[in-house]
Structure 1
């Protein structure tokens, strides 16, 4: 008796959903299964070119041809496209900058015409051991077609330069539907381009900036600085600003978030720039002058500057999770600021909301233990305190000093690693 092929009885919508979890190469191979599957892959709403390795001219040419073939098949059929995901590992950076990027730009120009909602472009490049400042010149310019793609819901990009936003039509430019924006190694020719881009994202919910952006200079563009300082992102729920070249992202624009990760050395709420003729005043002392109240914030991650922690905590009444890290940068005793002395006032979130606290990279400074001690003594519902030492030989010493510390929470567990 002939067994029925149950999967073939499923409607196209469900089969498209199944194929969406496959890479496009795998989806295309399903065309050999039966007559019904021959053209099924063409109407799948997502194209996923992931786990691609380019290690020779031959492999580069072969991959380019395969992408063009897939796009031509879809374009001829006239189907809309929900998502386009490109993830490539280049063994040689010359393959990326000189041979591949021009094709990537052409692919983008094709896919954004199909009511694209999700665009994810990632280039992982094996860079030479010696940094070459000229290589940034080879970063492909972000096509204007992306800047005018008003259907985008999520945009995740790595290794592009952004120029000429000033010359994009104000009528066409903007992302009225964009909720997720991830930038990694994005070069902005001028800070104004970045400001204009963010101002064009009125419903943004998730923002991640890594190794990206350029600074603004008051002597060059005071209007852009004013725009940036007045930036509002009312729907933002998550923000991560780490390892960026941006020196003064306004905290006010982040005030609605529930989860926040900050490299504090790169942020400044004061209406100043990084000009050399700034006040001689210590820049750490004019950072975070105007901290907004983070009414929704429950998870906070701070990197580098601990002197701002307690001041920030006073503005986070609902904070439940706190993570602190100095990173790989050595912090001097004087840089700990007020954290070198036990705070006089206990932030509301510490006494009534904080449940978990993680502190990384604690080393040889006695003042580094003041903050975890302060939290242990005052956090009444704290469940776990995790302390990671940057020096293994200090682990037992840290544990010996923190273990006897009075704990406001009877159920708190202390872990030292």
Structure 2
């Protein structure tokens, strides 16, 4: 086997070595002069060190010196107790001179050298700082003509949002942007304006502050993940090409308290048609994503829709909607949302327990209905429900499932997934649903699934069971819904 490996051409062996951890690849250099030369041409270098590795700096120095001026594809450095800034900067300048394509840095308390932001070869830049990794005021010109992926986690900008805007303006072909742990105490406002962007992940710290202003201008964006406190205003939200969006907007503690007070007053004193008092305004944001086809909403986002939206926009293109439920949050916004999704085909619930309020009575069994149920005009064909370990003793989840079956006229498939191994609840729920006398849809296929048991039937019909785990495709929707 060793002889066969030695007979491989040098470029192929170097390519293979590039996929090994750098320490393991470096160990091959002691085999012979040929192997020393082979390791010198490795194009991917990944280093990880800490305070317990006193030889780490010397090791990185030797590896970089051995490579000379050979071109690099990737350089990754993860160092919890980094060397002095001059040493780290010398490493970065070394790989930039060698035309590195992918640069990944995980370090703390380090001002990034301005040379990074004028690289003509970088296609991917990933920056992660536990504390103090920053883009300084000495970064003048920004021009990254080949950068397609920019991933930043806990990165500070000494100029705040202005420095971030300058960075984006120097990335003319950027396609993927990841922003993690933005601290609004330093930024206050943010504008993501990139005409070429196709994927955006935007996660901000939950520090109980509302950002002053957030804008999005990404007409080619296809995929969005957005988690933040609602902004005080959304001057521009432009997503003409959006296909899939995961939204987790939330109220601050003060806004949530105001919403709770407004909620109590509303249900005690007002009529159903009276408008609630808004505690924030995210109307422009939801209008900006109304072209989306696949939408995931957190439970807190349902609260935002109820108390921070002037009117629910019409989602004409939406075909799949996933919502998370929480016992502290009502379904007040769901009737209006479902009404404004005229082409919705698949509805997924992650959890089914919610706060009982008068506002959600239009789509659930919580309160007697005064108006026609919004489910009666629903276009949904597939309903999927993810349940926790056990159904509550009060039977709320069970009664809600029955309510959906009795009201949804176009339902073709109901799938209930228990996120557990075999449990009597699977049999019990199947049996009870079989006994429903009135079902809105003439024939609805029912599946009740756990990790090792699948029960299926057509309502009304006899029950069939499978003791083996359901086919993998039955889990696809579940895995996608919870990620």
- Asked if Structure 1 and Structure 2 have the same fold, meaning a TM-score greater than 0.5 normalized by the shorter chain, the answer is yes
When residues 355 and 363 of structure 1 are mapped into structure 2, their CA distance, relative to the original with a 3 A threshold, is closer
Larger RCO (CA under 8 A, 6+ residues apart): 1
Whether 1:366 aligns to 2:361 is: no
When residues 293 and 241 of structure 1 are mapped into structure 2, their CA distance, relative to the original with a 3 A threshold, is closer
Give 1:158's aligned residue. Answer: 128
Deviation at 1:198, TM superposition (A): 2.0
Deviation at 1:194, TM superposition (A): 1.3
Whether 1:287 aligns to 2:287 is: no
When residues 372 and 154 of structure 1 are mapped into structure 2, their CA distance, relative to the original with a 3 A threshold, is farther
Deviation at 1:332, TM superposition (A): 6.4
Q: What are the superposed Cα offsets for residues 11-53 of structure 1, whole Å, 9 maximum, x if unpaired?
A: 3332232112111111111224454322111111111114x4x
Map residues 288-307 of structure 1 onto 2, 5 A cutoff: 288-289=283-284, 291-293=287-289, 295=291, 298=294, 300=296, 302=298, 304-307=300-303
Query: For the Cα contact (< 8 Å) 1:386–1:416, is it kept in 2?
Result: yes
Query: For the Cα contact (< 8 Å) 1:264–1:305, is it kept in 2?
Result: no
Give 2:198's aligned residue. Answer: 237
Give 1:265's aligned residue. Answer: 229
Give 1:86's aligned residue. Answer: 77
Deviation at 1:122, TM superposition (A): 2.4
Query: For the Cα contact (< 8 Å) 1:81–1:115, is it kept in 2?
Result: yes
Give 1:104's aligned residue. Answer: 88
Q: What are the superposed Cα offsets for residues 209-237 of structure 1, whole Å, 9 maximum, x if unpaired?
A: 1112546789xxxxxx7xx65x5323322
Taking structure 2 as the reference length, the TM-score comes to: 0.62
Map residues 196-345 of structure 1 onto 2, 5 A cutoff: 196-214=166-184, 229=191, 231-244=192-205, 247=211, 250=214, 252-254=216-218, 256-267=220-231, 269-271=233-235, 284-289=279-284, 291-293=287-289, 295=291, 298=294, 300=296, 302=298, 304-308=300-304, 314-315=314-315, 317-318=317-318, 320=320, 322=322, 324=324, 338-339=332-333, 342-343=335-336
Q: What are the superposed Cα offsets for residues 98-134 of structure 1, whole Å, 9 maximum, x if unpaired?
A: x4665433322221222121111225xxxxxxxxxxx
Deviation at 1:62, TM superposition (A): 0.8
Query: For the Cα contact (< 8 Å) 2:300–2:329, is it kept in 1?
Result: no
Deviation at 1:303, TM superposition (A): 6.9
Give 2:119's aligned residue. Answer: 149
CA RMSD of aligned residues (A): 4.0
Deviation at 1:84, TM superposition (A): 0.6
Deviation at 1:292, TM superposition (A): 1.9
Structure ranking higher in helix proportion: 1
Which whole-Å CA distance do the structure 2 matches of 1:44 and 1:141 have between them?
28
